[in-house]
Amino acid sequence: MRAYHDKFRGRIMLAQICDAAKIKINALPWLKQYMEEGRNKLCYNNVLGVCSHGQRCRFVHAPKTAIRDDFAAELCKVIKPGVEWLVRNGDAAPGPGAERRNGKQRRY
């Protein structure tokens, strides 16, 4: 994940990662304690890096202690092809403060 975080500054674009890895988000590994009525409640953005929704996120931000190493390893393995694809082909995240410019992002 190092190259990914260097490029995207910790921002996780899970939909793009899954697209690039050719997997569905619901095919990702899950943790039993964060499943509710068969649906995942765990925020993967928060597990993998920084969740841009913060406090308003509709998913659960699990404490780091709840994320077991084997779960993290499995998750990383599943999304790895997508992460690597984005590192090679994705647009790098804009610099700090870019969000404040009315959502208009310059493409590099």
Give residues in contact with Zn ion (CB under 5 A). 43, 45-46, 51, 53, 57, 59
- Calpha distance 57→26 (Å, rounded): 18
Cβ at position 13, least distance to Zn ion in Å: 13
Q: State the burial class of residue 83 (Cβ atoms within 10 Å of its Cβ: 0-12, 13-18, 19+).
A: buried
Q: State the burial class of residue 69 (Cβ atoms within 10 Å of its Cβ: 0-12, 13-18, 19+).
A: exposed
Show the DSSP H helices in 1-108 as ranges.
2-8, 14-21, 44-48, 69-89
Specify the residue, 48 or 87, whose C-beta has the smaller distance to Zn ion. 48
- Calpha distance 31→63 (Å, rounded): 13
Cβ at position 106, least distance to Zn ion in Å: 26
Cβ at position 28, least distance to Zn ion in Å: 14
Cβ at position 34, least distance to Zn ion in Å: 12
Specify the residue, 53 or 68, whose C-beta has the smaller distance to Zn ion. 53
Specify the residue, 53 or 77, whose C-beta has the smaller distance to Zn ion. 53
Specify the residue, 43 or 87, whose C-beta has the smaller distance to Zn ion. 43
